[in-house]
Chain A
Amino acid sequence: MKNDVLQRLAAARPAHLDPGLPTPSQVRQEELATLMSLPRASRRARAATRSARVRRPLLSGLALATASVVAAVVMTDTAPERPGPAPSATLGSGSQVLLAAASHVERQPAASGKYWYVVETLADRQKVPGKNYSIDIRQEVRWWTAAAKNRYWSQSLDVGARPATEADEAAWKADGSPMSWDMRDVTGEIVTYAGKGEIAHDAPGGIADSVPMGEVPLRLLPTLPTDAKALRKRLFELVDKHYNGPEWTLDRIVVEDAVQLATTLPSTPALRAAAYRLLAAEPGVRSLGDVKDHAGRTGYAVALTAEYAPGTERRLIFDKSTGMPLGQEMVSTRSGDGRKKGDLLSYTTFTMKWTNQAPPFNTDYSDPPADLRSVPVDELDVEAAR
């Protein structure tokens, strides 16, 4: 679709970067011969071979895996496995908060159902061009995961934009409380206060288990250890098995996995608690005290270094009464690129539960014509707003 910025970008790809081009035959011949003349290390020999390759220590997968398991043991040994009444004084405040949340969440009753149903409200904070206030552009995404069928479906809705903060709301009122904002120069959309409801849904759905890395395969969830140390070790093994990279990369994926287990994956209370405890052992976890989430719910928050976005910090918010996750925020930790240190960049709120209620659309067949279905949400918005 021409109007989609991704398609436009695809069309702008320089010709020599066409991935379908053949390798020049001379390069192919020489490279293949060189590569296949290299010794092939057996699994067992790999650690030794790799650690000898000083120039590129990043490739020593197994050696690093071993080192990291040792490091993880050292790290978590200083943390009590179960939160006691007096956590070790060496732990930061954030770790203590996470450990307390773990002991809280693991007492929640286990539930079951046909679908694990997650509703995420995703908001991007943007300045309105020509105005003195910012708005949160909000999208709601609903996910139904049928663990037994190994499938998932999603539905996305435009739930409208809102003035970002109280000060922004006052400025918006002073501006005559407009019910739509022309954000075409910013995001390519005209956004409205009311929103347009459903924009798209996925049918016939996706394979829930299709990603072996970075997300724990659904079918493995019941097999994961509920002890934080063992969980970290197991996640590392899973990541290392499917991935090859420097330790810090693997480590980031382990932490990302743990955040997924702690938040939107259908973890049992014990597994969720183990994920919290794993995160509690991360260096530099800070407590942010009591907060209200963006749905107005009362909770408390901790800050973690964001694994995938340098200069950004991830804040996780937990429910005061259950210890369940309520949402996360991405906050800038440095100034530049039009953002100030401490600026909220985006937030997500979660609500989740087991349900027997099927998605409110045909899960085997998608009704919009195929060419329209592929139009990304933001581009359709522009049209719909006219």
Chain B
Amino acid sequence: MPDDDADRFTAIYDGCRQRVWAYVVSRAGRQVADEVVSETFTVAWRRLEDVPEQPLPWLLGVARNILRDSIRAEARRAMLAAELGAWTGQAEADVAEDVSERSALLKALATLPEDDRDLLILSAWQGLTPAEAARVVGCSPITLRVRLHRARMRLNQAASASPLMQEAATARRVSTRARITVGKEAR
């Protein structure tokens, strides 16, 4: 039934469109986001029968392929750099106490290899489980967990290379130790 298809597609669109947009922006900036998103949903409409029950990982996978294939890595980097300038500017304009931490993390994120950044964005910003993220990038969940572990280590490394970040990290360790001690006593 065409009407059923329209309903299903609309539901998929409403549930996922902004998520796909946010993912594409975090990979390659705003400039290309609308076009890539529109192309992604064109694929979904054409291949509606192939879209799985949980459409998000599938859609993100399609968007990821479109990005990889239609925009050169150099161009993705340049567009992301421009985007990042806007993010850190925004983070620094906020009157939050963790401003330095935020902008240092965003800067560290930008220095990582693209594959690492991809996994971190899928996990931390899209909130995907390792199994879902594995579905997006097309690897096994085992592989994904290991790769995510490494990406996290590299992010830690890149983030703590900045002096501001080291201060923030020291403060955090102290407070975490206090909390874990409390947790142990409670048990």
Binding site for B on A (CB under 8 A): 2-3, 5-23, 27-28, 31-32, 34-36, 38, 40-41, 43, 46, 56, 58-59, 61, 122, 124, 139, 141, 143, 184-188, 206-207, 210-215, 239, 241-246, 249, 252-253, 256, 260, 264, 308-309, 337, 346, 348, 369, 371-372, 376-379, 382-383, 386
Among A14, A43, A256, A308, contact of B90 (Cβ-Cβ < 8 Å): A14
CB distance A215 to B140 under 8 Å?
yes
A145 — nearest CB in chain B belongs to which residue? Answer: B142
CB distance B45 to A246 under 8 Å?
no
CB distance B109 to A214 under 8 Å?
no
B44 — nearest CB in chain A belongs to which residue? Answer: A35
Compute how far the CA of A8 lies from the CA of B120 in the bound complex, rounded to whole angstroms.
Answer: 11
CB distance B160 to A184 under 8 Å?
yes
Q: What 3 A-B pairs have minimum CB-CB distances, sorted nearest first?
A: A245-B65, A215-B140, A58-B69
Compute how far the CA of A376 lies from the CA of B152 in the bound complex, rounded to whole angstroms.
Answer: 10
| Contact (A32, B47) CB under 8 Å given A215-B141, A249-B65 | no
| Contact (A3, B65) CB under 8 Å given A9-B124, A211-B131, A346-B150 | no
| Contact (A9, B131) CB under 8 Å given A188-B153, A213-B61 | no
B interface, by DSSP: helix, strand, loop or mixed?
helix
| Contact (A9, B120) CB under 8 Å given A19-B18, A19-B22, A246-B65 | yes
Compute how far the CA of A263 lies from the CA of B49 in the bound complex, rounded to whole angstroms.
Answer: 33
Chain B, range 146-177, C-beta contacts under 8 Å to A = 146-147, 149-150, 152-153, 155-157, 159-161, 166, 169, 172-173, 175-177
| Contact (A58, B176) CB under 8 Å given A6-B152, A35-B38 | no
CB distance B125 to A17 under 8 Å?
yes
CB distance A40 to B48 under 8 Å?
yes
| Contact (A372, B47) CB under 8 Å given A9-B109, A14-B91, A378-B156 | no
Report chain A residues within 8 Å CB of B143. Answer: 214, 256, 260
A382 — nearest CB in chain B belongs to which residue? Answer: B173
Compute how far the CA of A372 lies from the CA of B183 in the bound complex, rounded to whole angstroms.
Answer: 9
CB distance B153 to A2 under 8 Å?
no
A17 — nearest CB in chain B belongs to which residue? Answer: B22
CB distance B150 to A124 under 8 Å?
yes
Among A5, A56, A249, contact of B138 (Cβ-Cβ < 8 Å): A249
A21 — nearest CB in chain B belongs to which residue? Answer: B18
| Contact (A19, B91) CB under 8 Å given A256-B139, A264-B142, A308-B139 | no
CB distance B180 to A372 under 8 Å?
yes
User: Number of residues in B with C-beta < 8 Å to the partner?
Assistant: 86
User: From residue B42, how far is it (CB to closest CB) to chain A in Å?
Assistant: 6
User: From residue A27, how far is it (CB to closest CB) to chain B in Å?
Assistant: 8
Compute how far the CA of A14 lies from the CA of B88 in the bound complex, rounded to whole angstroms.
Answer: 9
Among A7, A22, A23, contact of B124 (Cβ-Cβ < 8 Å): A7
CB-defined A-B contacts under 8 Å, sample of 5: A2-B172, A31-B38, A35-B42, A35-B45, A308-B147
| Contact (A252, B153) CB under 8 Å given A9-B120, A14-B91, A59-B43 | no
Report chain A residues within 8 Å CB of B26. Answer: 17
Among A12, A242, A348, A379, find the residue whose CB has the most chain B CB atoms closer than 10 A: A12
A2 — nearest CB in chain B belongs to which residue? Answer: B172
Report chain B residues within 8 Å CB of A260. Answer: 140, 143
CB distance B153 to A378 under 8 Å?
yes
CB distance B141 to A211 under 8 Å?
yes
Report chain A residues within 8 Å CB of B134. Answer: 211, 213-215
Provide the B48-83 mask, 1 if CB < 8 A to any CB of A, else 0.
111010000010011001101110000000000000
User: From residue A317, how far is it (CB to closest CB) to chain B in Å?
Assistant: 17
Compute how far the CA of A56 lies from the CA of B23 in the bound complex, rounded to whole angstroms.
Answer: 20
A244 — nearest CB in chain B belongs to which residue? Answer: B62
Report chain B residues within 8 Å CB of A188. Answer: 153, 156-157, 160, 169
Among B14, B25, B46, contact of A23 (Cβ-Cβ < 8 Å): B14
CB distance A18 to B45 under 8 Å?
no
User: From residue A188, how far is it (CB to closest CB) to chain B in Å?
Assistant: 4
B49 — nearest CB in chain A belongs to which residue? Answer: A43
Report chain B residues within 8 Å CB of A143. Answer: 142
Chain B, range 1-51, C-beta contacts under 8 Å to A = 5-6, 9-10, 13-14, 17-19, 21-23, 25-26, 34, 38-39, 41-43, 45-50
User: From residue A1, how far is it (CB to closest CB) to chain B in Å?
Assistant: 8
Compute how far the CA of A245 lies from the CA of B175 in the bound complex, rounded to whole angstroms.
Answer: 46
CB distance B70 to A383 under 8 Å?
no
CB distance A369 to B183 under 8 Å?
yes
Compute how far the CA of A134 lies from the CA of B58 in the bound complex, rounded to whole angstroms.
Answer: 41
B128 — nearest CB in chain A belongs to which residue? Answer: A19
CB distance A17 to B46 under 8 Å?
no
CB distance B38 to A14 under 8 Å?
no
CB distance B65 to A244 under 8 Å?
yes
Report chain B residues within 8 Å CB of A382. Answer: 173
